[in-house]
Amino acid sequence: MIEKDQKKLLEQFQNEATKAAAFSELVKTSHEKLYWHIRRIVLNHDDADDILQNTYMKAWNGLSSFRGESQITTWLYRIATNECLTFLTKERMKNITSSLDAEDILLRKMEGDAYFNGDEAQKLLQEAILTLPEKQRIVFNMRYFQEMSYEKMAEILNTSVGALKASYHYAVKKVELFLKEN
């Protein structure tokens, strides 16, 4: 979204008469990319859909406090990423007594997801990605699948570009090793 469009959208958010239409436009333009960002983290369509709805609800409720210091899409990605991390933490806590760890549960959900239409290679790649620590997995997904710049990721994840480059480098090496071994 270009700066001029963002400024116009922010003005529309401040006006009660145009707030809903502006938010609807924001949802329409960001829905698909945001959904896939979330889906790559949680792997399951239904969970991704729920998290996306939570993201938009939090965005709607937080519109009045949005100061425009970053792009609106960056703000949405930050909310979505935090919602994913919260979801994963809850899943871990819910299954703490299970012999399966959270990654195994995510993989099983993905396999049982009627919307997953990947082949064995895609499933193996997802297994490899699930071996990564949570934050590395998010960085890998954002860079590999979305081809997001390190600068934008740094804004979303509130970290340095250098840390992200290192994280992505290590993630790629771990994924490559997993794929070679399996």
* CATH classification of the domain holding 69: 1.10.1740.10
CA neighbor of 60 nearest in space, from 13, 17, 12:
13
- Residues 126 and 93 occupy one common structural domain: no
Rounded Cα gap, residues 22 and 6, in angstroms: 10
- Residues 123 and 112 occupy one common structural domain: no
Domain end: 73, 96, 117, which one? 117
Rounded Cα gap, residues 120 and 102, in angstroms: 21
Q: Domain of 142?
A: 119-182
What pLDDT is attached to residue 151?
Answer: 95
- Residues 41 and 88 occupy one common structural domain: yes
- Dihedral sign for Cα 60, 75, 26, 83, please: negative
- Residues 163 and 102 occupy one common structural domain: no
What pLDDT is attached to residue 15?
Answer: 85
- Residues 87 and 125 occupy one common structural domain: no
- Residues 46 and 106 occupy one common structural domain: yes
Domain end: 117, 139, 162, which one? 117
What pLDDT is attached to residue 100?
Answer: 47
Q: Is 10 exposed, middle or buried (CB count within 10 Å of its CB: 0-12, 13-18, 19+)?
A: middle
DSSP-based three-state secondary structure for 21: helix
- Residues 26 and 51 occupy one common structural domain: yes
- Residues 102 and 137 occupy one common structural domain: no
Work out how many domains the chain is built from and give that number: 2
What pLDDT is attached to residue 13?
Answer: 84
Domain end: 97, 117, 137, which one? 117
| Reduced 3-state DSSP string for 70-112 | CCHHHHHHHHHHHHHHHHHHHHHHHCCCCCCCHHHHHHHHHHH
- Residues 97 and 178 occupy one common structural domain: no
The DSSP element (H or E) to which 146 belongs, if any, is: none
- Residues 168 and 80 occupy one common structural domain: no
- Residues 73 and 29 occupy one common structural domain: yes
Query: Residue 154 belongs to a domain with what CATH number?
Result: 1.10.10.10
Each residue's pLDDT tens digit in the chain (182 positions)?
445 577 788 888 888 899 899 899 889 999 999 999 999 898 888 999 999 999 999 999 998 788 777 888 899 999 999 999 999 888 877 765 554 465 666 666 666 565 655 667 777 888 888 889 888 999 999 999 899 999 999 999 999 999 999 999 999 999 999 999 98
Rounded Cα gap, residues 42 and 28, in angstroms: 22
- Residues 99 and 142 occupy one common structural domain: no
**Token pair of 77 as six digits:** 């990605």
